[in-house]
Structure 1
């Protein structure tokens, strides 16, 4: 079974009431997720999260910390996937649909609607209001100081 690391970014708008979501094209229909994707060889988790967000949405982000980690055994593709979800902050860029072959749309979705698509252990509103973040360490050095 292959081990796969996948990163996602939870990014709120300025009001804190909407979450950035992408609508992916899938073999069994389209589905919404947070921006993100597979970590490439030689890439840190942080680098992957920043790259995937830029590639999928056109937005530049800074990482604020890890919100949660979960995993799944995906038997049909023989993968053990580890999902790391970061909280990010928008620092620039404009929304751009640069991968129309993979992504149908990019939307700011209200929190209640987004929660239906994100498999997380808590409500987004709680995560945002409590500001609970796990420090992220990059190759033994502190990547972010709190």
Structure 2
């Protein structure tokens, strides 16, 4: 199981990362980041931990957007992926795992970069359906 989050900053921008060559799947695509849930860890705690470990960011989870069947038949993978909204509280984002992530940035929702991962497309659709009240 993997979790992810649309993390919003003060200006209403959203944080994205480009997956690197050592990513488990969908290398080269942009994503609303996250990671695997550890045994005994809550979903929200996993989001907070992953953003700290991978980017040095302090985030607060603000809501659940939905759960995706993240099907990747070409890679032989099926992930159950809850996606959240979150708020950036502190820490200057930096790439801490350069083999898994090659770029990061803050973007307007109307100007997202390149191709998004399948689960990020699901997350974006859920966010647009529910509206910005959760960020």
TM superposition score normalised by structure 1: 0.73
Q: Structure 1 residue aligned with 2:6, among 3, 10, 18? A: 10
In the aligned structure 2, how far is the partner of 1:123 from the partner of 1:8?
Answer: 13
Q: Structure 2 residue aligned with 1:26, among 18, 21, 24? A: 21
Q: State how many pairs are aligned.
A: 127
Q: How does 1:33-112 map to 2 (within 5 A)?
A: 33-75=31-73, 78-112=76-110
3-state SS of paired residue (2:8):
coil
Task: Report if the CA contact (8 A) 2:62-2:134 is conserved.
Answer: no
Unaligned 5+ residue runs, structure 1?
134-146
Question: What is the Cα deviation at residue 13 of structure 1?
Answer: 2.0
- Corresponding residue number in structure 2 for 1:138: none
- CA deviations on 1:4-50 (whole Å, 9 max, x unpaired) are x110011122121x210011113775111111011122221111111
Task: Report if the CA contact (8 A) 1:74-1:80 is conserved.
Answer: yes
C-alpha spacing 1:41/1:119, structure 2 compared with 1 (3 Å): same
3-state SS of paired residue (2:70):
strand
**Higher RCO (C-alpha 8 Å, min separation 6):** 2
**Higher share of residues assigned helix:** 2
Q: Structure 2 residue aligned with 1:122, among 121, 125, 132? A: 125
Question: What is the Cα deviation at residue 66 of structure 1?
Answer: 0.3
In the aligned structure 1, how far is the partner of 2:98 from the partner of 2:75?
Answer: 24
Question: What is the Cα deviation at residue 75 of structure 1?
Answer: 3.8
**Higher share of residues assigned strand:** 1
Higher CA-based Rg: 1
3-state SS of paired residue (1:14):
coil
CA RMSD of superposed structures (Å): 2.6
Question: What is the Cα deviation at residue 79 of structure 1?
Answer: 3.9
